[in-house]
Structure 1
Amino acid sequence: MRINFDHEIDNNPQPEEAGTITVTATIFGDDDEFDTPFTTRSHSIQDVFGCDEDEDSDCQIVRELKCFLLVEANIDDDDVIGDAMRKLVAYIDGVACFTSNSDYSLECALSVQMDLFPDSRSQIEEAIQVSFDEASNNTRFIPASKVVVKTLIRKVYKKKIEKENMKKKKKKKISLEECTICLEEFKNGGRVVQLACGHEFDEECIVKWLETSHVCPLCRYELPCEDQMN
């Protein structure tokens, strides 16, 4: 499941809203159709920091979101739900870290937007499987040219952060992206390779892939192979 997060910090909330957090979750499906967003009640943000992996100690916001994902969104995979909740808590922790560089303080009210794309992983897995099947039907995998692999452009991945100053609010947007081979989020500061077709992968994943196949695992874009370079 791919998850994108947004948040807004209200620096001048009503007194009863100071130090609180609400989370709005939206499930996106095919053709950009999505269910009605679900918004939790406002809770003290301090409750979130007491949340850990023990289900009995989940904070109220996590319990409300788990119920929404299980009942309303019909997501019954405990691993998927657990992973989504861990990412949410980590995101909140990153936003509300109480340091001199943080825009957040307990005098503010925090709103978090959580966009979930449950179909993206299955579509990626299906596309990768098609690549394996098609390559198998072509008798054997043909490795990409080692020379070409060495010349692929590597870059350091940096999380995309957009800042917009507002009179009463400050908003940040963090877009999470994944390597579609290992299905793990790109690590900030990690090395990423972008093929000519535009698809990006972890450097280690795509180099290993190209040792056995000269095509992009998603779109079948062909790189020069060893046979062509000899």
Structure 2
Amino acid sequence: MRGRIYFRHEIDRNPEVSEAGTINACVTMVTMDEPVRTFPITWLADYVMEDEGFSSREDINDLLMKEGFPLEPDLFMLTEIARKGIIEVTSSRDYSPEYALFLNLTFRDGISLDEIVEDDDTNIYIPYYCIPFRPASELAVRSLTKNIYYKTSSIVGDKCIICLEEFKEGARIVTLPCGHEFDDKCIVDWFATSHFCPLCRFEFPT
């Protein structure tokens, strides 16, 4: 299985009392042979930030296995990426344990999102509690600056931080006002559930 992970997060600095101090994750598995499965996980921030509370990818693997997710070798590698992403967010200056953190983790094999959408037999249902993010306004998304990518050297090229793949020669990329660049489709999909730059948290209108 050729796996891929999409990792999105949003920090609520003024959360509801019931959500303060929590990390709320929506985990989705998309494969060609199985129905799409989605489930929520909630951790206490203090537990995740403890040295022994979330110290290995086995913490995520155990949660996924309890839900019956097929943890093949490629997926074990992806859960390590997810773990590092969570640790990076909770260790950043933008985050504090009294905030509410919302995560969207999507594990999928090599199929494209277009294939999923075009398959009438595939019913992707994501519960409302798994989409706490506010999308960017349609006007803001339509106004994004788009360019054609040309590689300038023979060394490893730039990559889109969302899909973690290198930009392809001649591909269309988007440059945000903050200067960060992303694959066109990736950033449009991102802004469907978030109004912040994935890297620097530059805020877009909602």
TM-score normalized by the length of structure 1? 0.45
Q: Which has the higher helix share?
A: 1
TM-score normalized by the length of structure 2? 0.50
Larger radius of gyration: 1
